């Protein structure tokens, strides 16, 4: 549904986990939400239903963030059906892990993770920047990771991709600051989602000063703050949400 001149928030990977919680939080700020997902349409529909249940608006936009053509096609289609609307908030959140020690890592797993995180950041953000710059307002929040700050063994691909997004975000923040567009990152530690369901929380929580995994909602609250006008003087920043785990 399209209201004239409406400002939207696009959250990639919003069907589940941190993305879903972020979509709900941005909706409570008044944004109609574009829910991107890869293949789990049922979960994406569930997210839309939750948004509508709290009085918001949401629509689904399926595309694979690791594919430049799919990004272009989906966004162009969305723009065609929303001629007067624009995307004011972009949360680059979609992600997966493909962990392995580097010595055993297939090139495919390296490339998949770089495409899915770093290249997705580049292609989606570049596509939406023009509108933000011309409206002299925009918010870009990248969901990165503790791994992209300190590196974690088994994650050379993922750590490189997340660190790349952090650095690119800092550079971009300096390019677009004058135009009212901010670019920040949140770096979660261990958060309870499908992505970490294979990890043993009982064992790992001993390493975490607050003694538990975080929740998707705790990450979403920080993303929502960075996406708000209140965060206008914060840009090029990385905020850790990790229960005090050493970074
Ligand atoms: P999750 O619960 O596994 O959800 C992943 C989301 O990404 C799903 O919505 C999934 O869509 C979507 N997705 C995956 N590949 C995609 C693709 N190629 N194109 C479009 N969407 C895709 O993960 P999460 O834990 O919320 O993670 C969200 C972000 O936080 C990721 O960037 C992750 O690296 C980061 N992070 C998570 C943790 C943690 O502890 N959980 C820690 C640090 C950083 P479908 O439902 O269609 O599959």
Q: Closest Cα to atom 34, ligand 1: which residue?
A: 95
Beta bridge partners of 138: 181
67: left (phi over 0), alpha (psi -120 to 50) or beta: beta
pLDDT at 247 over 80: no
Protein residue with its CA nearest to atom 12 in ligand 1: 13
Q: Which residues neighbour 209 within 8 Å (Cβ) at sequence distance 6 or greater?
A: 243, 244, 245
Query: Mean pLDDT over residues 227-236, rounded?
Result: 98
In the residue annotation, 158 being an active-site residue is answered as yes
* Residue 15 CA, ligand 1 centroid: distance in Å: 9
Residue 1 confidence (pLDDT) above 90: no
Tell me the per-residue pLDDT of 163-211, one tens digit each, with 9 for 90 and over.
999 999 999 999 999 999 999 999 999 999 999 999 999 999 999 999 9
Mean pLDDT of the 226-245 span:
98
Mind listing the pLDDT tens digit for each residue in 35-78? 999 999 999 999 999 999 999 999 999 999 999 999 999 999 99
Predicted pLDDT of residue 4: 60
* Residue 2 predicted with pLDDT over 70: no
Dist. CA 233–CA 109, nearest whole Å: 38
Q: What tens digit of pLDDT does each residue of 114-171 get?
A: 999 999 999 999 999 999 999 999 999 999 999 999 999 999 999 999 999 999 999 9
CA of 95 to the centre of ligand 1 (A): 4
Is the pLDDT confidence value at 104 over 70? yes
CA gap 222, 241 in Å, rounded = 8
Residues with CB under 6 A from ligand 1: 12-13, 15-19, 36-40, 43, 64-66, 93-96, 116, 143, 145, 188, 190-191, 193-196
Decide if 37 contacts 70 (C-beta within 8 A): no
């Amino acid at each position: 549904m399209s209201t004239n001149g409406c400002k939207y928030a696009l959250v990639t990977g919003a069907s589940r986990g941190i993305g879903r919680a972020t979509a709900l939080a941005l909706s409570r700020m008044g944004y109609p939400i574009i829910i991107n997902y890869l293949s789990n349409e049922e979960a994406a529909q569930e997210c839309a239903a939750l948004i509508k249940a709290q009085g918001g608006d949401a629509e689904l936009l399926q595309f694979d963030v690791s594919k430049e053509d799919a990004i272009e096609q989906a966004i162009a289609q969305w723009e065609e059906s929303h001629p007067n609307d624009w995307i004011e908030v972009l949360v680059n959140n979609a992600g997966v892990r493909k962990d392995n020690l580097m010595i055993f890592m297939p090139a495919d797993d390296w490339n998949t993770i770089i495409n899915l995180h770093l290249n997705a950041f580049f292609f989606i953000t570049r596509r939406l920047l023009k509108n933000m710059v011309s409206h002299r307002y925009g918010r870009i929040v990248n969901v990165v990771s503790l791994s992209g700050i300190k590196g974690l063994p088994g994650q050379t691909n993922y750590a490189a991709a997340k660190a790349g997004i952090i650095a690119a975000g800092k550079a971009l923040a300096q390019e677009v600051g004058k135009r009212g567009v901010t670019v920040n990152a949140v770096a979660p530690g261990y958060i309870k989602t499908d992505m970490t369901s294979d990890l043993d929380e009982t064992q790992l929580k001993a390493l975490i000063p607050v003694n538990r995994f975080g929740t998707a909602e705790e990450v979403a609250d920080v993303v929502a703050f960075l996406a708000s006008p209140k965060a206008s003087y914060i840009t090029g920043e990385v905020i850790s949400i990790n229960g005090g785990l050493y970074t």
